[in-house]
Amino acid sequence: MKMFAFAGGSWTGGDSGTMAPNSRDSGTSGRQGRDAYLDELCADSAIPETPVITDLSEPGYPANGLRFASSPFSDNSGSFGAMEYRVAHHAPYTRGDNTPFPFEWSATWETGELSAFTPDIRPPASAVRGGQTYRARVRHMDNSGRWSHWSDPLEFQASNPPASAYQENLVISEIMYNPSGPDDTEYLELHNIGPDPLDLTDVRFTKGIDYDFETGTVLASGAYLLVVRNRSAFEERYGSDLPVAGEYLNEEESRLENDGERIKITLGTFPIHNFVYDDNVPWPEEADAGGFAMELMRTSDNSSSAPLDPLGHGIATNWRLGGSPGSASSQTFEGSDPLDDSDQDGLPAFLEHALGSDNLNPLSGPELISAGRQNGALTFSFQRKLSADDVRFTVEVSRDLILWTNETTLVSETAGNEGTSIVTYTPTLEEDNDSRLFMRLRATLVDPLP
């Protein structure tokens, strides 16, 4: 739109009977000649020729596969000065309270003035939403500052990007949401567990933190990548040789909430993962200012049926205390016989691995499992090795040592020594005066994932 007067003027206009009354140059409206002035602007032969926009997008217009090209600059009296691309939502107006008109001039994405001729452009995936209709246009400007008309529109219906590779293979593997000391050392860790590299150009954190990965960011198969709140503070604590992609806004409102919140990561506008973490049991409590991060255990049995959380990020028992930014800390059982008891202490090798004891030292194991009472309730405690991600623990209860159930609940988990924690359960099975309750620990080997 140009700045022009609607009142007054002496331009010669028209008086077609098909015109609205206030557009006629009859003098009756008091706004003579504005239609003629607009016609003159539109018919200006000195402006650059109207360009043509061409579609180079992938079939189906996936949000991360849009690409549009412009015809060459053409002007009889000038040379190239700048150009601009834009994409706008196009939809019929739907009546409703506070519903804005979907005017096409309200762009959902635009390049702004490009001083160099850019023959084609790839809008970011965040420019569109799957299932909605858009129009792409381009215009040129000459060296005197005169713009061409916008090109005829290229109309298309966007589709959601193919996100399955990201949903299945891009893991939010570690979260430090409330570090001991300054909050500036917060971080999130991503891990590519798939066989192929993942292009993170269109990947964004939209809840929890606000962060867009830079164009060309690629996460190789098996690699880790960190997004930190404050890079200087992070590197002062952890070193400068870690794979930091960038930092999110160092403002109070952009930090991770210490009492838990929703984390959402998207490919364009399409959700990849969307889950809520917490700071209360059964979530790892000592991740809340205890000096630990939360680390996702990658095993074959921690998947989720939630469509926006297939890797089970929102399941509390899939997380453990940890803290190894930029690298793996998981350890698996390496013995050939899980039932081997080399030190003859009654604990098989696999259980010693799970508890963090030594299968060659009979003094390292017997006191790692204990029972007691807390506030009158029966409790059962055991030590666990934090990095033993190939272990699933189950605490079972019985009245008769024959029928066992898992009617127990986690009470607490506190940090122990040398990479261990002390886990305490209590039975939910009601005690009575005429019977006893027995509790036992079951450790099951599960398959670790990459």
Region 44-57 average pLDDT? 91
> Is 447 or 327 the better-scoring residue by pLDDT?
327
Residue 39 has pLDDT above 90, yes or no: no
* Band of pLDDT at residue 105, cut at 50, 70 and 90: confident
* Band of pLDDT at residue 101, cut at 50, 70 and 90: low
Q: What is the mean pLDDT of the chain?
A: 86
pLDDT digits (tens, 9 = 90+) for 11-20: 444 555 555 5
DSSP structure string for 328-395: --------S-TT--TT-SS--HHHHHHHT--TT-TTSSGGGEEEEEETTEEEEEEEEETT-TTEEEEE
CA distance 69 to 178: 47
Please give the pLDDT value at position 33.
Answer: 52
pLDDT digits (tens, 9 = 90+) for 108-166: 999 999 999 999 999 999 899 999 999 999 999 999 999 999 999 999 999 999 989 99
* Band of pLDDT at residue 6, cut at 50, 70 and 90: very low
Do β-strands 244-247 and 224-228 pair in parallel, antiparallel, or remain unpaired? parallel
Please give the pLDDT value at position 43.
Answer: 62
Please choose, from the candidates 290, 253, 294, the residue with its C-alpha nearest in 3D space to the C-alpha of residue 276: 294
Please give the pLDDT value at position 20.
Answer: 55
Length of the chain equals: 450
> Is 266 or 183 the better-scoring residue by pLDDT?
266
Question: Please, what are the domains in the chain?
Answer: 1-43 (no CATH), 53-157 (2.60.40.10), 164-322 (2.60.40.1260), 349-445 (2.60.40)
Do β-strands 211-212 and 203-207 pair in parallel, antiparallel, or remain unpaired? antiparallel
Please give the pLDDT value at position 290.
Answer: 82
Region 233-253 average pLDDT? 87
Please give the pLDDT value at position 96.
Answer: 65
* Band of pLDDT at residue 7, cut at 50, 70 and 90: very low
CA distance 372 to 342: 29
CA distance 139 to 53: 9
Residue 183 has pLDDT above 90, yes or no: no
- Preceding peptide of 282 cis, ω within 30°: yes
pLDDT digits (tens, 9 = 90+) for 352-401: 999 999 888 888 876 788 988 888 889 999 999 999 988 999 999 999 99
pLDDT digits (tens, 9 = 90+) for 260-301: 999 999 999 999 999 999 999 999 988 987 889 999 986 656
pLDDT digits (tens, 9 = 90+) for 62-75: 999 999 999 999 99
How many CB atoms neighbour CB 431 within 10 A? 13
Please give the pLDDT value at position 322.
Answer: 86
Please give the pLDDT value at position 11.
Answer: 44
Please give the pLDDT value at position 31.
Answer: 45
Residue 232 has pLDDT above 50, yes or no: yes
Share of the chain above pLDDT 70, in %: 84
Residue labelled with tokens 């217009």 = 61
* Band of pLDDT at residue 309, cut at 50, 70 and 90: confident
Task: Spell out the residues 6+ positions from residue 197 whose beta carbon is closer than 8 angstroms to its own.
Answer: 218, 219, 220, 221
Share of the chain above pLDDT 90, in %: 58
pLDDT digits (tens, 9 = 90+) for 390-433: 899 999 999 999 999 999 999 999 988 888 999 999 999 887 76
